[in-house]
Structure 1
Amino acid sequence: MAQVQTISDSANRVMASLVSGLEIEFGRQAGAALAARFLEAEEVDFHWDARLLERCLGSYLGGDEAEFELDRVRVLGRIDGRWFVAVMVVDGDGNAHGMLGKRCFRTAKRARAAFADA
């Protein structure tokens, strides 16, 4: 049986904090545009931090040179107003190392259905 864990609701704060900080530094009009670029460049970390639910899918057998064990974790979250379900590669300390796939949804209901469909 899979374990589902609820993560604190930081999804709305992730993007809002990023935009706010960029607006202070570079001006109001540049904040949202720069935030989109940051999100793209650091996609794995932002999606991991914005997760609301997670479920371990098992070990990740990514390559022969792995120095430590990695797991595949399915996450559901919301970032920048869009719901997503993704499969992340995570180490034993809870650090994301990659994203194997992501699907975006307009509604929480559809995202939750995709999350449950393992």
Structure 2
Amino acid sequence: MTIFHSAQRGSADNRVFGALVAGLDAEFGAGAGEALAQHYLDAEERDFLWDARIDERWLGTCEDEEDADAQHDRVAVIGRLQGTWYTAVSIVDGEGRAQGLIARRDWESERSAREAWSGLG
């Protein structure tokens, strides 16, 4: 069974990146956000890709070898971050938080990304 779910539609790209830059500006001073943002994106990639997703599709459960009681799911996501379309497969916990990133690929257009996303599984 395949489950589709529309995540936050619209300006997720601008919302996620804008919030990051604004927070960094507030913490480190005006203008610092742009300079530091890429470092934070690289370090926390799984979270930013999850937050900037436009659509998600459940792929199935996955076993946690370290914690047999933990419930994790594999979820295919599509989104746009910093003007680039991406598809990814994320590991998500029972609370809906990204816990891992299995794969990510960038695309030149929304159409290419959607075609790839529909085939993830």
TM-score (structure 1 length as normaliser): 0.89
Amino acid at match of 2:71: E
Aligned residues, how many?
118
User: Percent of aligned positions with the same letter in both sequences?
Assistant: 43
Contact 2:89 2:101 in 1 (8 A): yes
Aligned-residue CA RMSD in angstroms?
1.6
2:16 — aligned with what?
Answer: 14
Equivalent residue number for residue 103 of structure 2 = 101
- d(CA) in 1 for partners of 2:54 and 2:65? 29
Q: Extract structure 1 runs of 4+ deviating beyond 4 A.
A: none
The CA distance in 1 between the partners of 2:92 and 2:32, in whole Å, is: 33
| Alignment partner, residue 60 of structure 1 | 62
Q: Any gaps of 5 or more consecutive residues in structure 1?
A: none
Is 1:42 aligned to residue 50 of structure 2?
no
Instruction: String of CA shifts for 1:73-108, please: whole Å, max 9, x gaps.
Output: 000011111111000001121111100000011211
Residue of structure 1 equivalent to 2:25: 23
Does structure 1 residue 3 correspond to structure 2 residue 3? yes
Unaligned runs of 5+ in 2: none
Of 47, 67, 76, the residue aligned with 1:74 is 76
